């Protein structure tokens, strides 16, 4: 269990909150690059860490992230004109560039000193790996931009999608770090003996702390066949990396790949999940057909989303269209889509329709050995919150700490040590 006050320190993400101030020290996804693909295109609403913002790509291709409301009379900038390297409020014509500087003040006299003083709140951004990243923290503490291996892979070998989840980020992150649940929640072929993760439903969990967070290992005993070993990474504050290279692992191992998620807080009750996948080597090209099949299998394909949104059609309002007949003997849950199954459980932990999402009460938990990775993550996060409050150096900010690692999974022969068997495969290749 987690004390109520510690839970509150972890789940509240607005300005001035402990976790919110921690997150503001890291670069994080604000939106997909495809959402602002057009120069001088339509502005896009962004809500990040309980702040309402507007993103736009200017005439020179730079992406601005500014306050959702004009500093003049608080008119919504969403309706603004994106023109000639700036976003112009349509109420009185005030115009701002990507850095927040006022470049035109047509409603005031030409000699007015207001133009030099007026500005709109703006945050720095950069584009990498198909994502627009933003930094919302103090300028003097801005870290180097992240350099995850998947962001370095060529576009032909990389794919990123986004889904909306109606719960606090911590519920999603903990679900990603919980490897034992995949033996049950994601058992989509009840009697399939080739599924490695269902052959041992109580994997041995080992957690090794690092300067970026930790790596964690699930070791499933396959008897005379050896051990199915999967090495994951938790990169602070909210990213998980894993591998799908072994046939029977549950992934589409005909194209060996790495994948993972970043659970980025919209606010206390809602999360944007960035889902990335990356080919394991040059031969592992991610074709359009492969990507479409992988997204559909996860339950987040184009046809599975509410048009014009990143929200799944299967959601709390319709109980994820659970099929109780299918649940009897075909799949463990009766819910279609691997990530949809995750959402059903994660969003269901304390779901409050009036708030639009959920926050779990962890003071009521009863944890076991399978929860080692979750327990360690909470410890590291609480320690990092204290460090941030004291102005100290935070883990995972140095690109050298996280840019050289990659996950891996394989069957290790009986009696062999996984550390020696997998050593070369845990080093980034891209």
Domains in the chain: ranges and CATH: 38-125 (2.102.10.10), 149-426 (3.90.380.10)
Which residue is associated with the tokens 């923290």? 137
Max mean pLDDT among 243-257, 284-298, 376-390 falls in 376-390
SS3 sequence, 293-341?
HHHHHHCCCHHHECCCCCCECCCHHHHHHCCHHHHHHCCCCCCCCHHHH
pLDDT of residue 199: 84
pLDDT of residue 193: 66
Q: In angstroms, rounded to a whole number, what is the distance separating the alpha carbons of residues 319 and 348?
A: 10
Centroid of chain to Cα 430: 21
**182: pLDDT confidence band, cut at 50, 70 and 90?**
confident
Residues composing the chain: 430
Q: Give per-residue burial for 213-251: e unless 16+ CB within 10 Å, then b.
A: bbbbbbbbeeeeebbbbbbbbbbbbbbbbbbbbbebbbb
Q: Measure CA of the first residue to CA of the last residue in the chain; give whole Å.
A: 40
pLDDT of residue 195: 76
| Average confidence (pLDDT) over 420-427 | 90
Would you tell me the crossing angle of helices 169-177 and 338-347 to the nearest 10 degrees? 130
pLDDT of residue 184: 86
**256: pLDDT confidence band, cut at 50, 70 and 90?**
confident
- pLDDT, mean over the chain: 94
Report the range of poorest mean pLDDT among 77-86, 112-121, 206-215, 310-319: 112-121
Which residue is associated with the tokens 């031969």? 283
What is the CA angle 368-371-375, rounded to 5? Answer: 110
Nearest alpha carbon to residue 159 among 280, 279, 37, 306? 279
Query: Rounded to 10 degrees, what is the CA torsion of 71, 76, 77, 80?
Result: -120
**251: pLDDT confidence band, cut at 50, 70 and 90?**
low
With a cut of 90, say whether residue 247 has pLDDT above it: no
* DSSP state string for 187-214: --STT-TT-HHHH-SS-EEEEEE-SSEE
How much is the pTM? 0.95
**420: pLDDT confidence band, cut at 50, 70 and 90?**
confident
Q: In angstroms, rounded to a whole number, what is the distance separating the alpha carbons of residues 120 and 36?
A: 20
Q: In angstroms, rounded to a whole number, what is the distance separating the alpha carbons of residues 238 and 381?
A: 10
Q: Give per-residue burial for 276-313: e unless 16+ CB within 10 Å, then b.
A: bbbbbeeebebeeebbeebbebbbbbeebbeeeebbbb
């Amino acid at each position: 269990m987690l004390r109520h006050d510690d839970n509150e320190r972890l789940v509240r993400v607005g300005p001035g909150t402990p976790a919110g101030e921690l997150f503001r020290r890291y670069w994080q996804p604000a939106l997909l690059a495809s959402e602002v693909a057009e120069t001088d295109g339509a502005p896009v609403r962004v809500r990040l860490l309980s702040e309402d913002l507007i993103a736009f790509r200017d005439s020179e291709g730079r992406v601005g992230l500014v306050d959702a409301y004009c500093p003049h009379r608080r008119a919504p900038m969403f309706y603004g004109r994106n023109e000639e390297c700036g976003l112009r409020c349509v109420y009185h014509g005030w115009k701002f560039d990507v850095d927040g500087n006022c470049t035109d003040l047509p409603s005031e006299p030409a000699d007015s000193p207001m133009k030099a003083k007026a500005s709109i709140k703006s945050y720095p951004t950069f584009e990498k790996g198909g994502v627009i990243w933003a930094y919302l923290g103090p300028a003097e503490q801005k870290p180097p931009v992240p350099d995850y291996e998947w962001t370095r892979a060529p576009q032909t070998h990389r794919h990123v999608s986004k889904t909306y989840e109606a719960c606090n980020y911590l519920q999603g992150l903990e679900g990603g770090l919980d490897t034992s649940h995949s033996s049950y929640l994601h058992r989509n072929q009840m009697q399939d003996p080739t599924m490695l993760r269902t052959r041992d439903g109580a994997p041995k969990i080992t957690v090794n702390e690092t300067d970026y967070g930790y790596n964690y290992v699930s070791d499933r005993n396959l008897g005379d066949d050896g051990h199915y070993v999967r090495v994951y990474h938790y990169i602070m504050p909210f990213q998980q990396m894993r591998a799908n290279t072994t046939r029977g692992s549950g992934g589409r191992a005909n194209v060996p790949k790495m994948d993972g998620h970043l659970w980025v807080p919209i606010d206390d009750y809602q999360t944007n999940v960035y889902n990335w996948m990356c080919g394991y080597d040059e031969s592992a090209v991610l074709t359009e057909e492969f990507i479409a099949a992988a997204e559909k299998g996860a339950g987040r394909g184009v046809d599975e989303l509410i048009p014009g949104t990143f929200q799944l059609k299967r959601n709390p309002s319709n109980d994820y269209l659970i099929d109780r007949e299918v649940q009897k003997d075909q799949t463990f849950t009766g819910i279609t889509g691997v990530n949809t199954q995750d959402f059903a459980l994660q969003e269901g932990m304390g779901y409050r329709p009036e708030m639009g999402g959920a926050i779990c009460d962890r003071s009521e938990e009863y944890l076991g050995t399978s929860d080692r990775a979750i327990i360690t993550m909470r410890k590291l996060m609480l320690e990092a919150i204290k460090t941030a409050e004291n102005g100290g150096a935070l883990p995972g900010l140095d690109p050298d700490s996280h840019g050289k690692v990659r996950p891996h999974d394989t069957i290790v022969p009986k009696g062999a040590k996984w550390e020696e068997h997998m050593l070369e495969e845990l080093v980034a290749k891209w």
